[in-house]
Amino acid sequence: MDIPTSDRFYIDGDWRRPSTSELIAVIDPSTEAVAGHVAAGGPDDVDRAVAAAARAFPAFSRTSVAERSALLGRIADLLEGRSRRFADALVGEMGAAVGFAVAAQVPFALAHVRVAIDVLARYAFVSHRGTTATVKEPIGVCGLITPWNWPLYQITAKVAPALAAGCTIVLKPSELSPFSALLFAELMHDAGVPPGVFNLVNGTGETVGAALSAHPGVDMVSITGSTRAGVLVAQAAAPTVKRVVQELGGKSPNVILDDADLARCIGPGVLAAFRNVGQSCSAPTRMLVPAGRLAEVEALAAEACAAIRVGDPRHEATTMGPIANGAQYRRVQEMIAAGIADGATLVAGGLGRPAPLERGFFARPTIFSDVTPGMRIAREEIFGPVLSIMPYRDDAEALRLANDTVYGLGAHVQSGDLGRARRFAAGIRAGQVLINNPVWDGEAAFGGYKRSGNGREFGVAGLEEYLETKAIVGYGPA
């Protein structure tokens, strides 16, 4: 496989020519130069991939747990062995700082495969109640649509549980960061995935994503992306009444209760908001703080921001690379300008690139304070390194502000009293709440309330999205 330029799709166990000769340029966000090209697929390519997946499904769906576990084990071993190659691809396609790619993007992607193996080993596909048996069966052909911000991580978050369930797959990665997906298809081939079980078609969401979502041969679609994209997928899928799982946008709060140790939680809170250059749907980009401690928070936040090193993502000293693409860079600049125009206090950062950078989609890590609920920066998902600090008077107002959003993907709570933090977390309308910056849990269900989506990923909850439930009444005793 010739990376970073490819004019092939992986369909039915081999690399095949697309139905058109159109190519999509992939831009290196650190230089704004063309890094390579990938083929632009169309409905005919989706048809071929879905047909291959449908042919493979009957046999693969009947494989044993041991067989699927062994396949996932081979995938995990190959991913671990090729981790640096994947990290380098992430640097080139979406500007991840190499240290972050090596320490987070690739290891967390690998963890999804290991988690799927662990869940598969203990999951009960058949349960009994009296003379009734409840059987969990693979749902069928799955269309998986993944984003540009965590390219490999989101692929394994979907592919691993789908394979564990016994489903077959058509993957449409983002055309903006497709190199790691091509490497993953190469890995799947080398792992010995049966022909048709895993297929990859590159292309735009408007063409390939729409065709996959509407395809009558696809039984389920899982998308990670913007809320707008999730709505379009759901609309396209509706006529065929297929299952749609959506992990979409967010505007997550980080609630600093008045008994929290500011020295221990403000710096990590800033870094959590700016992780992956702020390009994470669950990034805690609204920091809610006691009004009487606002000045302390601002000083600590500015200090943490000043320690961030923005620059060439290939340099080990860099802690923040560029925004992943030009359209998103322009969006971030627009929102920083909106914060200034709306009268928020600029604590750090601002418009433009950090000096001395003159090229590339580099943004200045930016912190606003005295942000009020009506400001655009408080309400809209920015998807960049922009943090809004919002003061509150008491816990009731903090909870109201935390829930004052159309989104409900994630939230953070910081407190010196675990019981108090638990009570506050219980009132937050979000799919995942993190108390006092815990370590990442790859089995914790992840997904959203409200416009952050439907369904869950990770762990048992993620596996079950790829399963149908069949009740067999009169089955008899176990």
- CA 58 to CA 168: how far, in whole Å? 9
* Cβ neighbours of residue 394 closer than 8 Å, sequence gap 6 or more: none
Give the closest residue to 30 by CA, choosing from 86, 88, 105: 88
- CA 155 to CA 186: how far, in whole Å? 14
Q: Which of 93, 175, 247, 381 is catalytic?
A: 247
CB burial of 350-383 (b: ≥16 within 10 Å; e: otherwise) equals: beebbeebeebbbbbbbbbbbbeeebbbbebbbb
Coil vs helix vs strand at 349: coil
β 449-450/407-408 pair status: antiparallel
What is the DSSP secondary-structure string of 284-317? --EEEEEGGGHHHHHHHHHHHHHT--BS-TTSTT
Query: 17-24: which pairs have CB atoms within 8 A and are 24 or more residues apart?
Result: 18/42, 18/45, 19/44, 19/45, 24/175, 24/178, 24/202, 24/203, 24/204
Q: Is 265 a catalytic residue?
A: no
Which DSSP state fits 446? B
- Using alpha carbons, list the distances in angstroms from residue 284 to 260, 281, 414, 466: 17, 9, 12, 29
HEC assignment per residue over 41-59: CCHHHHHHHHHHHHHHHHH
Do residues 427 and 399 touch, judged by C-beta distance below 8 A?
yes
- CA 91 to CA 114: how far, in whole Å? 24
Residue 7 falls in which region: left (phi positive, over 0), alpha (psi -120 to 50) or beta: alpha
Q: Which of 281, 381, 464, 465 is catalytic?
A: 281
User: Rg for the chain (alpha carbons), in Å?
Assistant: 23
Q: Is 281 a catalytic residue?
A: yes
- Indicate which residues carry an active-site annotation: 247, 281
